[in-house]
Amino acid sequence: MKRPWILLLPLIMGFSGCLKDDLDPATLTSNPLDPDYSGPALIELVSDTTRIVYLGGMPADTVVEQVVQVRTDLLPAGTDWKLYVTLVNTGEVFDYGSEIPPPDERPYHHVVPGTSYCFDYQLKVQFSLTKAWRYCTVAQP
């Protein structure tokens, strides 16, 4: 008669021990769409350049441009996204479709040589933004 009661103790302890709350939101950073994402960069800088724009054979402007690549292989299949670019120095925002626009559509104009120009790149998915990747380029003389 006593044995079932004795067996009850480890049973209850076992039940309670196997269910733990080990889910910490702060440690969830593996989803590339998470604003706190900590994995490989979703948007990578391919190249940057300082270019002189000529108008009628005469130099009209000096611009800073960057070429970036979106790592779609990190995204869930079929994710519909838009590129969202902020020119940090001016506050200008460019909201593009899923096609990466050519770099000359979002350059810094009239740059001052030796100054650093930064771009924040984000993906817009279902009207909300991912983490921003900031890449800066120093304008060349």
Binding site for other proteins (CB under 8 A): 1-2, 5, 8-9, 12, 15-16, 19, 21, 23, 25, 28, 30-31, 33-36, 76, 79, 125-130
In the bound complex, what is the minimum distance in angstroms from residue 125's beta carbon to other proteins? Answer: 5
Residue with Cβ nearer other proteins (24 or 55): 24
Distance CA 29, CA 43 (A): 16
Residue with Cβ nearer other proteins (16 or 58): 16
In the bound complex, what is the minimum distance in angstroms from residue 87's beta carbon to other proteins? Answer: 21
> Could you tell me if 45 and 68 are in contact, meaning their C-beta atoms sit under 8 angstroms apart?
yes
> Coil, strand, or helix at residue 42?
coil
In the bound complex, what is the minimum distance in angstroms from residue 71's beta carbon to other proteins? Answer: 16
- CA angle in degrees (0–180, nearest 5) for 53-83-74: 125
Distance CA 25, CA 17 (A): 22
In the bound complex, what is the minimum distance in angstroms from residue 75's beta carbon to other proteins? Answer: 9
Residue with Cβ nearer other proteins (132 or 136): 132
Distance CA 89, CA 119 (A): 8
Q: Which two tokens stand for residue 3?
A: 């044995």
